[in-house]
Amino acid sequence: MNYIPDRITKEAGRSQDAYGGHELDVPTWPVQPGRYRLVAARACPWANRAIIVRGLLGLEDVISMGLAGPVHDDRSWSFNLDPGGVDPVLGYERLEQAFLARFPDYSKGITVPALVDVPSKEVVTNDFPTITHDFSFEWRDHHRPDAPDLWPDDCRDEMETVMQRVFTDVNDGVYRCGFAGSQEAYDEAYDRLWATMDWLEERLSRRRYLMGDRITEADVRLFTTLARFDAVYHGHFKCNRNKLTEQPALWGYARDLFQTPGFGETIDFDQIKRHYYVVHEDINPTGIVPQGPDPAGWRAPHGRERL
């Protein structure tokens, strides 16, 4: 899927690749507190990243947030959680309206997370990895004083390598399993998923977080998939070699993050299950939403302080 590549940058008019610093022909918008609204959905793992990073960095009073409901149709995510089904800041019923306000003939996916320019009510970008990257770098002057450094200089190269493997084989890998159009495609995605899950299990048996003793964006990106694994991906997407709860290091790691302020409170298991089991009619034509698993285990002691 192609995303709107625009960025919100500290230096207005700067046009650079968010990662490599290479000059690009990408429209940029100026960092201005109060100007932009993050539209997200608790059901979506990609949007969940943005919710977590915004909270960890203390940007709640700088970038407002609107939440779409967990069930959408072919047109768009809807603001059906708000009174009257209308976002109170944008005045929209659907996120689609922000995209069409800027691009009347927009034909790509209407996705969350998206940043919307409040004065014009036009979408700015829905490029999800760049959104959270720029929250860390371009909005740094507005971080709370004790905000974590989610992109530490001393491990950034290794972190990028880890995140790329996690994205390809886990974040996106569960979807490639779930939406595989052939047995061969499913088998390949399944094998890659579990090879990387085993690699993560071994890595996290020796360190508390992916990059050592501190939380980075790499952890945020893995967490949002792990939080949905047993509730959705294990059965709904046929990722069923093991449950997360059967992976000692990964399960302890996931609980450790869940119990860290800024993570667990962003997770709504009911919304997550409703989204996948209702929206994916081709995979679950009955629309029946499972009752389990019991989320109580997420609060159990994890013991990872020893690492």
Report yes or no on 1 lying in a domain. no
The one catalytic residue in 3, 106, 155, 175 is: 175
Contact 216, 152 (CB under 8 A): yes
Q: Is residue 147 part of a domain?
A: no
- Asked whether the beta carbons of 225 and 232 are under 8 A apart, the reply is no
Q: Taking the model in full, what pTM does it have? A: 0.96
How many structural domains are present in the chain? 2
Say if residue 168 is in the same domain as residue 284.
Answer: yes
pLDDT computed for residue 18 by the predictor:
53
Where in the sequence is the domain holding 173, given as residue range(s)?
A: 153-306
pLDDT band at 216 (very low <50, low <70, confident <90, very high): very high
Domain shared by 181 and 228, yes or no = yes
Is the same domain home to 12 and 129? yes
> Which of 82, 108, 142 represents a domain boundary (last residue)?
142
Catalytic residue among 44, 92, 233, 239: 44
Asked if residue 14 has pLDDT above 70, the reply is: no
Residue 29, H or E segment: strand 28-30
The helix (H) or strand (E) run that includes residue 40 is: strand 36-40
Of the candidates 64, 91, 90, 96, the one whose C-alpha atom is nearest the C-alpha of residue 77 is 96
Q: Are residues 18 and 114 in the same domain?
A: yes
pLDDT digits (tens, 9 = 90+) for 78-103: 999 999 999 999 999 999 999 999 99
User: In the listed set 116, 142, 168, which residue is the last one of a domain according to the structure?
Assistant: 142
Note if 155 is an active site residue.
no
Q: Is 3 a known active-site residue?
A: no
Q: Flag whether 77 is marked binding.
A: yes
Give the tens place of pLDDT for each residue, 143-200.
999 999 999 999 999 999 999 999 999 999 999 999 999 999 999 999 999 999 999 9
